[in-house]
Amino acid sequence: MSEKKIRVLIAKPGLDGHDRGAKIIARALRDAGMEVIYTGLRQTPEMIASAAVQEDVDVIGLSILSGAHGTLAPRLMELLKQKGMNDVTVLLGGTIPEADIPALKKAGIAEIFLPGTSTQDIVNFVREHARRVE
Amino acid sequence: MSSDREQHIRRTESDKLPAHTPEFTTISNHPIRRLYTPVDLREWDADRDLGLPGEPPYTRGIHPAMYRDRLWTMRQFAGFGSAEDTNKRFRYLLSQGQTGISVAFDLPTLMGYDSDDALAEGEVGKCGVAISSLADMEILFDRISLDAISTSMTINSPAAILWAMYLAVAEKQGANWKRLGGTLQNDILKEYIAQKEYIYPPKPSMRLVIDTLEFAARETPKYNPISISGYHIREAGSTAIQELAFTLRDGIEYVEWGLRRGLAVDEFAPRLSFFFNAHNDFFEEIAKYRAARRLWSRTMTERFGAKSARSASLRFHAQTAGCSLTAQQPYNNVIRTALQALAAVMGGTQSLHTNSLDEAWALPTEFAATLALRTQQILAHETGVTNTADPLGGSYFVEALTNEVEQGAREYIRKIDEMGGMIAAIERGYPQREIADASYRYQMAVDRKEKIVVGVNAFTDEEKSLETLQVGESVRAQQVSRLRKLRKERSNAEVARLLASLRKAAAGNENLMPHIYDAVKAYATLGELCAALREVFGSHEEAAVT
C-alpha cells in the first residue's frame, strides 16, 4: 500500500502581511515531498477552516507576527471543531510571547515554532504528527 | 603600478584553500576576496567616483561636514495600544533624548480599518497605535509641538489620510505648515513587493502618492511626503544589492509619475527621501549606502536632468535589521543592534532607529526601548566616528565593494527597465520572486550551518524567560465606545456630503488631498474614507509567489 502524501495548508490569518516565513516553510515542506497549499494573505479563521475542509488537509500551519494570535488561533480551533476536523494537526509560528504559549496549547495548537527554528525540525515534526489516512 | 608588482599582488591573493574551508561571502552571498589592493581600483577614479562630501556624486555623504555640523536624528519607531499609551511613550523617549518622533500604527489602521471593524478583532493596538479618526490623532500628539519636532509616520495605503489628520492637528496647534518637518512613508510600490499592506490596485495608489507629492511641494516645503524604502524589501529576505536596486527603481518610478503629472523634477525631487535597512554585514551595508548616494546622484542628473543639488542628494533614514533579532538569548540582540547602527552611521545616515532586544518576542518594553536609544547616544558621543565625514573613504575594500554593489544594482535596474518599469515588474511577480528565492537560499544556508547565527545554530544554551510588553484587549473596547461617541457628536450629514464629494473627485483627476483634509476635519473616520476610496479604486489581491 503506497503512502499518501501529507497535505498541509499554510495560512496567514488576520491582517498581518509578513509572509517570508510562511513562504519558506511552504517551499521546504514541498521540497520534502508534501502537498502544500498556501492560502495567501489576510485570511479570516472562517476562510482557513473552509479551505482546510475543502483541501482535506492533514496539517495546518499558521503564521502570525501581528500579536493577534490570542484571538485568531483559538477562533480557528473552535471552527475546526465545529466542522468536525478533530484530528488535523495545527501548528503556529511567528511572534508569540512565551507567556501566551500555554493558553494556545490548551486551545489545541499542537506546537508553537519560534523564530530560529530550522525548516528540518518543522519537516520532521509534521512527518511525525500528521494524521495519515490511507 | 609596475606589472611585476601587480603580479606579486595577484599571487598573494590566490588562496591555497584546504578542502573544508568555506567560501567567504557576505550575508547576501556576495563573494569577498582575501585582500583588497590598488589593483581592485584600477578602473576607479577618485575625482569621478569618490568626490567630496556634499558634492556630486555624494559618495562620501550629502553634507560637507556631516556629523560635525549636525548629528543624525535619533528617531525611535514607537506605538502600541491607545493614543494615550503611545503619547506617553513618545514623551518619555523625547525626555530621554530622542530628537525625532516616529509613529507605529496598528494593523487595522495600516490597512484602513477602524478599530471597531469586524476585521480588526484581536488586532487593535497590538503592533502599533490604533488611530481611527482625527480625535485619536489629537490625543496622540497631546503636549507635543509639531512645529518643534519632526515627525515620521510609517503608513502607506492610507498615508494621505493619516497625513491629513497630522496636518489638521498641526493647524489646531497653530503651527505653520511651511515649517513642519517630518516624513510620511507613503511608498506603495514596496507594499506590492514586500510589506504587503496594499489596499487599492497600483495605478490609483500611485495617483494618491503623486497627489501627496504635489500637495507637499506647494504646502509643506520642509516635509518629506515619501520615504522610498528598502528596509522592508530586505526584511522580506532580499540581498543588499536587491534592496538597493528595487528601492532606487521604485524611486525612478515615482519620479516618472511626478513628471507625467506635470511637475518639474526639481520641484518635488528634493523632498524624496529614502529608508534603508542596517543589516549584519558591516562593510556590505556601508558600501550599500555609499553606492546608493552615488547611483541616485547619477540617475537624477543623467536620467532626469535634475539641476538642483537637492534633487541629486539622497537623504535616508536607517533602521537596524529586525529580521536579524533572535528569540534565543535576546541580550545578544543589543550587540547586533549596536554594530548595525555603527554601520549606518559610518555609511552616513541622516536618521536612525535602533531596535530593542526583545522584538523577536513582542513590542519593546520601556527598558528595552531606552537601551536602544542609549546605543545611539553612545555611538554619537563616545566612539569618535562622528569626527570626520566618510571615515572609510579610500579603503581599497570599501571602494571596491561600493563599486560592486552599484554595478549589481544597475544590472537589476536595467532588467526592470526592460520589463517596462517597476509596476510591470511587480505585475509579473519579478521582485517578489527574487526576494522569495534569496530568502529561501539564506534559510537553507542557516539550516546547514553555512551561515552561523549565534545562540540559534551555534553557541546555544538553555533559555531563560524574558518579561515582555503585553497589550490587552481593552484597547479595542475603548476604541469602540469612542467611535460610537464620535459618530453621535459630529455632523453625519456633513461627513456624508464630504465623502460623496471625495468619491466624485476620486473618479476624476483632481488632487484628493484637499478633499481628504476637509473630511478628516469633519471627523470622518479612517475606515469611512478608505471604504469610500475602495468603492472607486477597487481592491488589490496578489497572486502569491512562494
Segment B102-126 shows an average pLDDT of 98
Torsion, Cα B507 B508 B513 B516, to 10 degrees, reads -30
Bigger pLDDT: B139 or B17?
B139
Which pLDDT belongs to residue A77?
Answer: 98
Which pLDDT belongs to residue B5?
Answer: 82
- How far is residue B116's CA from residue B122's CA, in Å, rounded to a whole number? 11
Which pLDDT belongs to residue A65?
Answer: 95
Segment B84-99 shows an average pLDDT of 98
Instruction: List Cβ neighbours of B94 (8 Å cut-off, separation of 6 or more).
Output: B101, B144, B149
pLDDT at B297 over 90: yes
How many other CB atoms are there within 10 angstroms of residue A81's CB atom? 12
pLDDT at B474 over 50: yes
Among B326, B443, B453, B471, pick the best mutation site for testing chain A contact (most A Cβ within 10 A).
B443
Between chains, do A115 and B363 touch, taking CB under 8 Å as contact? Answer: no
pLDDT digits (tens, 9 = 90+) for B501-531: 999 999 999 999 999 999 999 999 999 999 9
Nearest to B352 by CA among B98, B58, B54, B90: B98
pLDDT at A133 over 90: no
- How far is residue B205's CA from residue B318's CA, in Å, rounded to a whole number? 25
pLDDT band at residue B165 using 50, 70 and 90 as cut-offs: very high
Segment B444-461 shows an average pLDDT of 97
pLDDT band at residue B201 using 50, 70 and 90 as cut-offs: very high
- How far is residue B57's CA from residue B221's CA, in Å, rounded to a whole number? 24
How many other CB atoms are there within 10 angstroms of residue B414's CB atom? 12
Between chains, do A115 and B446 touch, taking CB under 8 Å as contact? Answer: no
Segment B170-187 shows an average pLDDT of 98
Helix (H, G, I), strand (E, B) or coil at B510: coil
pLDDT at B413 over 60: yes
Segment B401-410 shows an average pLDDT of 98
Listed by number, the residues of chain A in 39-98 with a beta carbon closer than 8 Å to a beta carbon of chain B are: 40-41, 44, 66-68, 70-72, 75, 95-98
Span of B10-19, B156-165, B302-311 with lowest mean pLDDT = B10-19
Which pLDDT belongs to residue B133?
Answer: 98
Burial of A129 (0-12, 13-18, 19+ CB in 10 A): middle
Which pLDDT belongs to residue A132?
Answer: 60
Please tell me which of the candidates A15, A116, A119 has its beta carbon nearest to residue B107.
A15
- How far is residue B166's CA from residue B515's CA, in Å, rounded to a whole number? 15
Chain B residues within an 8 Å CB radius of A16: 107
pLDDT band at residue A2 using 50, 70 and 90 as cut-offs: low
Mapped to the 3 state alphabet, what secondary structure does B447-470 carry? HCCCCCCECCCECCCCCCCCCCCC
* CA distance to A83, A105, B263, B409, per residue, from B121 (Å): 22, 21, 42, 41
CATH domain B46-58+149-171+178-383+391-447 topology? TIM Barrel (3.20.20)
Residues of chain B with pLDDT > 70: what percent?
98
Span of B297-311, B512-526, B531-545 with lowest mean pLDDT = B531-545
Mapped to the 3 state alphabet, what secondary structure does B380-413 carry? HHHCCHHHCCCCCCCCHHHHHHHHHHHHHHHHHH
Distance from the Cα of A30 to chain B's closest Cα (Å) equals: 10
Nine cell digits for residue B180: 513642519
Segment B427-449 shows an average pLDDT of 97
Burial of B488 (0-12, 13-18, 19+ CB in 10 A): exposed
Nearest to B216 by CA among B227, B205, B230, B204: B227
Which pLDDT belongs to residue B2?
Answer: 80
pLDDT band at residue B14 using 50, 70 and 90 as cut-offs: low
Distance from the Cα of B328 to chain A's closest Cα (Å) equals: 8
Span of A65-79, A88-102, B9-23, B51-65 with lowest mean pLDDT = B9-23
Residue-range domains of chain A with CATH:
7-123 (3.40.50.280)
- How far is residue B238's CA from residue B233's CA, in Å, rounded to a whole number? 6
Helix then strand then coil, in percent of chain B rounded to 5, is 55, 10, 40
Which pLDDT belongs to residue B546?
Answer: 75
Task: Tell whether A120 is within 8 A of chain B (Cβ).
Answer: yes
Between chains, do A115 and B327 touch, taking CB under 8 Å as contact? Answer: yes
For CA atoms B265, B268, B271, B274, the dihedral sign is negative
- What DSSP line would sit under B347-385, residue for residue? TT-SEEE---TTTTTSSPPHHHHHHHHHHHHHHHHHS-G
Between chains, do B360 and A120 touch, taking CB under 8 Å as contact? Answer: no
Is the ipTM above a cut-off of 0.90? yes
pLDDT band at residue B199 using 50, 70 and 90 as cut-offs: very high
Please tell me which of the candidates B110, B456, B470 has its beta carbon nearest to residue A116.
B456
Angle at A26 between CA A25 and CA A29, to 5 degrees: 80
pLDDT at B406 over 50: yes
- How far is residue B328's CA from residue B531's CA, in Å, rounded to a whole number? 42
Please tell me which of the candidates A27, A66, A75 has its beta carbon nearest to residue B126.
A66
- In which order are the strands placed within the sheet that holds A7-11? A35-38, A7-11, A59-64, A89-94, A111-113
Average pLDDT of chain B?
96
Which pLDDT belongs to residue B544?
Answer: 79
pLDDT at A26 over 70: yes
Segment B9-20 shows an average pLDDT of 59
Chain B residues within an 8 Å CB radius of A75: 122
Residues of chain A with pLDDT > 70: what percent?
95
Which pLDDT belongs to residue B4?
Answer: 84
* CA distance to A59, A65, A99, B112, per residue, from A79 (Å): 15, 21, 24, 27
Segment A17-21 shows an average pLDDT of 97
pLDDT at B321 over 90: yes
Does the predicted model carry a pTM greater than 0.90?
yes
Beta carbons of B155 and B109 less than 8 angstroms apart:
yes
Span of A41-55, B213-227, B459-473 with lowest mean pLDDT = B459-473
Between chains, do B439 and A24 touch, taking CB under 8 Å as contact? Answer: yes
Segment B78-97 shows an average pLDDT of 98
Which pLDDT belongs to residue A134?
Answer: 45
Segment B79-97 shows an average pLDDT of 98
Burial of B278 (0-12, 13-18, 19+ CB in 10 A): buried
Instruction: List Cβ neighbours of B348 (8 Å cut-off, separation of 6 or more).
Output: B53, B60, B61, B62, B66, B289, B290, B293, B389, B390
Closest-approach residue (CA) in chain A for B110: A15
Between chains, do A40 and B544 touch, taking CB under 8 Å as contact? Answer: yes
Each domain of chain B, given as residue ranges in start order, spans 46-58+149-171+178-383+391-447
Chain A residues within an 8 Å CB radius of B120: 15
pLDDT digits (tens, 9 = 90+) for A53-107: 999 999 999 999 999 999 999 999 999 999 999 999 999 999 999 999 999 999 9
Between chains, do B328 and A99 touch, taking CB under 8 Å as contact? Answer: no
pLDDT band at residue B9 using 50, 70 and 90 as cut-offs: confident
pLDDT digits (tens, 9 = 90+) for B115-149: 999 999 999 999 999 999 999 999 999 999 999 99
